Amino acid sequence: MRLSAREWRLLWLTLTAALAAATWAVADGRLRAWRELGDRRRALEQRRGIAERYLRREPELQRELEALRQALPRYADKEPVASELLGRIGAMETGSGLRLLSKDPRPERVVEDLCETTIQCQWEGDLDSLVKFLYAVLSQGAMMDVRQLTVQRADEKTDRLRGALTLGYAYVRGADGAAPDRPAGLEAAP
């Protein structure tokens, strides 16, 4: 069987198109993988740059961390902290006008030499008393912070609000029998 010139051209065009399609099918997966590798490389370079900046700042960050640790109150190993914390929260509650319906202390968590106690509270009050209470918490410095806060209207007819909040309190434990070493302004609540 003899092929005409036109048929040869069609055969070459068909083979070229098939070869191009096969090349595209193989190369497309490889190109996609190549792009993903490039994206991963850029992300890793960015993370490395951030890590290098932190490493360059390590002495400064260590000084800041040590200053924060020095600012934290220190308690004896067996001294209960939750009762003092509840008293302090009660004083902030009285000063702000916010009504705490419940105060539920959670067990102490210890990470290396840092201890943390959290208190979950249900509250009710107006916006002004909530702002005063939150300001009182934030004025405690690095020792106390608000971990979670939910706010909703108590009812549609009044401006009363209610919600829940979780307070975190950080401190350091000392040797047994060591007197609590609290920074100025953080005396035990009566």
Over residues 125-174, the pLDDT tens digits come to 999 999 999 999 998 877 888 999 999 998 888 889 999 999 999 888 87
What mean pLDDT is reported for the chain? 86
Confidence of residue 175 (pLDDT cuts 50, 70, 90): low
Pick the more confident residue, 142 or 88.
Answer: 88
CATH superfamily of domain region 73-173: Ribosomal protein S6/Translation elongation factor EF1B (3.30.70.60)
Per-residue pLDDT, averaged over 24-50, amounts to 91
Q: What is the pLDDT of residue 82?
A: 87
Per-residue pLDDT, averaged over 75-94, amounts to 88
Residue extents of the structural domains in the chain = 1-56, 73-173
Confidence of residue 81 (pLDDT cuts 50, 70, 90): confident
- Global pTM reads 0.61
Confirm if 61 and 54 have CB atoms less than 8 A apart: yes
For every residue of the chain, DSSP letters joined together read ----HHHHHHHHHHHHHHHHHHHHHHHHHHHHHHHHHHHHHHHHHHHHHHHHHHHHTHHHHHHHHHHHHHHS-EE-TT---HHHHHHHHHHHHHHHT-EEEEEEEPPPEEETTEEEEEEEEEEEE-HHHHHHHHHHHHTTGGGEEEEEEEEEES-SSS--EEEEEEEEEEEEE-STTPPPB--TT-PPP-
Name the least confident of 30-44, 94-108, 127-141, 170-184.
Answer: 170-184
The tens digit of pLDDT for each residue in 105-115 reads: 999 898 888 88
Confidence of residue 78 (pLDDT cuts 50, 70, 90): confident
Pick the more confident residue, 170 or 189.
Answer: 170
Q: What is the pLDDT of residue 84?
A: 87
